[in-house]
Amino acid sequence: ETAKILWKTYVVLTVLEVILLKLGGVEFFDALCHSLSTVATGGFATHNTSIGYFNSVYVESISILFMFLGGVSFALHYQLVNSNIGTVIKNPELRFYSSMILIGVALATWGINSSSPDLTLDESFRKAAFNVVSINTTSGFVTDDFNAWPNFLRIFMLVIMMIGGCSGSTSGSLKVIRFIILFKIIRRELKKLVHPRAIFHVKVAGKSVKPDDLTNVVALTCFFMGFATLGCIFLSLMGVDLTTSISASIACLFNIGPGLGQVGAMGNYGDIPFMGKGILIAFMLMGR
């Protein structure tokens, strides 16, 4: 029954996007391929310049909407269909996810507009909105070379790469819920420094998280960070520059696609050494 619900939700979202893209003048083949790749947060496009090929605010807006929906838990889609709007709105993971995207878009808009005075605020917002949502949901579509953005924005893009979308969604990375739990664990440990004999529970949505689950979250986070660091070291030993080594390891392990430096939005992994490609292949499999 759960599988039926998930499949129905997935198919409805995909068909709806195909129809909307067709209404925007996109050919059926392109509309179908991009819809399959957007809802699945996969990021593959039928043109070398990705979604930027269409140069259409309408197409980019539809893609943003469905990338965002692809990054939302499919359980919440089901709740929404059943009119449980209160449950959806109160969901802490969805709130964090939505807030992160809104803050990210605002920050990127300001950064792009400040560093490129020739761009209007509308153009800066358009570039920021699409690329932040794409990277945050691990879709990997691009319309602008964020590798050329100010350094603080490049770092920010790396951070949201690692967070990803909600649990139960099609996006990759660690998922928002694990970062919420990590923040709460850190806050609990800081409280215990002040009140060493007190007992504090980590709660999400009013429910206590089991100690085993807390351990699993910390262990998985350390596992990901540790392997990303090892990948960076090995790629650096092969002569790959530091920026590319760090971002390529993160992008592959967290299933993003584009990174920074040599593997940036307008680059590719073609020049990574043979052994380096082998490591990144293993990372992509491990990330899944």
Instruction: Please give the DSSP secondary-structure letter assigned to residue 140.
Output: -
H or E element that contains 40: none
Q: What is the mean pLDDT of residues 75-79?
A: 87
Band of residue 270 on the pLDDT scale cut at 50, 70, 90 = very high
What 3-state class would DSSP assign to 167? coil
| Angle between the N-to-C axes of helices 242-253 and 274-287, in degrees from 0 to 180, rounded to the nearest 10 | 40
Q: Please spell the DSSP secondary structure of 196-261, one letter per residue.
A: TT-----EETTEEPPHHHHHHHHHHHHHHHHHHHHHHHHHHHTT--HHHHHHHHHHHHTT----SG
pTM of the model: 0.90
For residue 24, pLDDT over 80 is answered with yes
pLDDT in tens, 143-161: 988 988 999 999 999 999 9
Residue 82's pLDDT is what? 80
Which residues have a Cβ under 8 Å from the Cβ of 111 and sit 6 or more positions away? 128, 149, 150, 152, 153
Residue 36's pLDDT is what? 93
Which residues have a Cβ under 8 Å from the Cβ of 162 and sit 6 or more positions away? 173, 174, 224, 250, 254
Strands (E), the chain: 203-204, 207-208
For residue 239, pLDDT over 90 is answered with yes
Residue 191's pLDDT is what? 93
pLDDT in tens, 79-126: 887 878 888 888 999 999 999 999 999 999 999 999 888 889 999 999
| Angle between the N-to-C axes of helices 211-237 and 176-194, in degrees from 0 to 180, rounded to the nearest 10 | 110
Residue the block writes with tokens 């998930």: 6
Residue 217's pLDDT is what? 93
For residue 226, pLDDT over 80 is answered with yes
Residue 74's pLDDT is what? 87
